[in-house]
Amino acid sequence: NPILTNFLWNEIGRGVDLKLLEKWMHANKQKIAELTAAVFATPAPKYIDFFGAQSIDLVGAKRGEKVFNKTCRKCHGAYQKGWNLPEQDQLSLEEKLATTKVLYPRKSKNKDVGTDPLRYQGMKYFAKDLNRLAISKWMKTVVVPQVGYIPPPLVGIWARFPYFHNNSVPNLCSLLETEEKRPTKYWAGASLDKQRDFDSDCVGYPTGEKTPDIWKKDAAYLYDTTRKGMSNFGHSNRILTREGRNVLSVDQKKDLIQYLKTL
């Protein structure tokens, strides 16, 4: 159960007494089961529920699907869309934009796409100690050091900013740029106002001149990619770039973002 694993990892990070944690888990099996069911049964939020179906460029999204299938599908899975159904002419815009089926491998495989390696490299130093814990054995969790990270399915990706395993990329526009053009610093403030605190064109945190002034007043909101383990490189070479140049045109990137909004 990955929910148990999340409990363990989060509480280790907070310095909890693992004996107390194990005791709590044994005493609250029903609560954990209910939480697990809720996590797996809760659907991802849809972009159109917040911004309306008319905010999506359907023609652009269809072009973006072709870009996605050529560039991203191999690692992140395939998504069948309503606009490809035989009866699509009779469907509403909302139904055309809907994802009707997600095709993702039953067994995930880790990939090394050049993102910051320190998290997975650090695993080899404490995997043995994690595995020998009584609580790990009870949970049937075995930590195996590996190279790279799991490319996740992209359902609800529009709401999962910032991006990469270490949150180093503020929005999809930045992710689709060559590494040297990604912002080295950005503010990750509270998303309270969907117009001010969310960049709907780039999908994610507003950066540069779009950054809300109120965020800049709190240093805790500042993300600095120059810090160790927080770099924003990767997911570029052999995927989005060739010989340092972006393989996608400006229009292709816009279309791809339109498609990702529909997932």
Size (the chain), residues: 263
One-character DSSP codes across 58-77: HHHHHHHHHHHHHHTHHHH-
Averaged pLDDT score across all residues of the chain: 94
pLDDT at 54: 97
pLDDT at 72: 95
d(CA 165, CA 76) in angstroms, rounded, equals 14
pLDDT mean over 129-154: 92
pLDDT mean over 98-119: 93
pLDDT mean over 112-137: 92
More reliable by pLDDT, 14 or 93: 93
Predicted confidence band of residue 88 (pLDDT cuts 50, 70, 90): very high
Predicted confidence band of residue 240 (pLDDT cuts 50, 70, 90): confident
The pTM for the full model equals 0.92
CB 69, CB 103: distance < 8 Å: no
d(CA 107, CA 130) in angstroms, rounded, equals 23
pLDDT above 90 as % of the chain: 81
Please state whether beta strands 78-81 and 185-187 pair in parallel, antiparallel, or not at all (unpaired): unpaired
SS (H, E, C) 140-175: CCCCCCCCCECCCCCCCHHHCCCECCCCCECEHHHH
- Please count the other Cβ atoms lying within 10 Å of the Cβ belonging to residue 175: 25
pLDDT tens-digit series, residues 40-78: 999 999 999 999 999 999 999 999 999 999 999 999 999
pLDDT at 245: 79
